[in-house]
Amino acid sequence: MSEMEKNKNMLNLKTFLSPKITKATKQLKNHWVLHGLNFRALSDINLLFDKKMSDIDKRIDALPKAPFNPQEVSSSSSSSMVALPPMTMVTTEVLARTGTKDIMQPDVNNMDP
């Protein structure tokens, strides 16, 4: 394909896309106006989002890198961590034997205000 044909095709593509880009830009501006958004508000939201993400990243980095082992936590420890007992798996057989009659629910009408 010759240079002249390439330039002609590019010009045609430009003239084809130019109205579409203009229309999309107008629609975007109308969308912002309809929803009360403008570029400044979006920039402020973006800055707030970046700050929150930075704060979250700092908190994640501050977490201890060692895995948590509840067996190593002593009762005299001054930390706020509590050792929990190991979880027990409940099978469907146990659930079927238990049934719903054994589930106790507080009486809502007799609760203190």
Residue 79, both tokens? 């930390």
Q: Give a yes or no: residue 18 inside a domain.
A: yes
**Nearest Cα to Cα of residue 68 among 83, 50, 53:** 83
pLDDT band at 103 (very low <50, low <70, confident <90, very high): very low
Residue 69, both tokens? 């082992």
Q: Give a yes or no: residue 93 inside a domain.
A: no
Q: Above pLDDT 90, what percent of the chain?
A: 4
Alpha-carbon distance of 9 to 16, in angstroms, equals 10
Q: What one-character DSSP code corresponds to residue 36?
A: T
Q: Give a yes or no: residue 25 inside a domain.
A: yes
**Most confident stretch, 26-35, 49-58, 72-81, 85-94:** 49-58
pLDDT of residue 105: 47
Predicted TM-score of the model (pTM) = 0.30
Segments forming the whole domain that contains residue 26: 3-62
Q: Give a yes or no: residue 30 inside a domain.
A: yes
Task: Count structural domains, the chain.
Answer: 1
Q: Give a yes or no: residue 112 inside a domain.
A: no
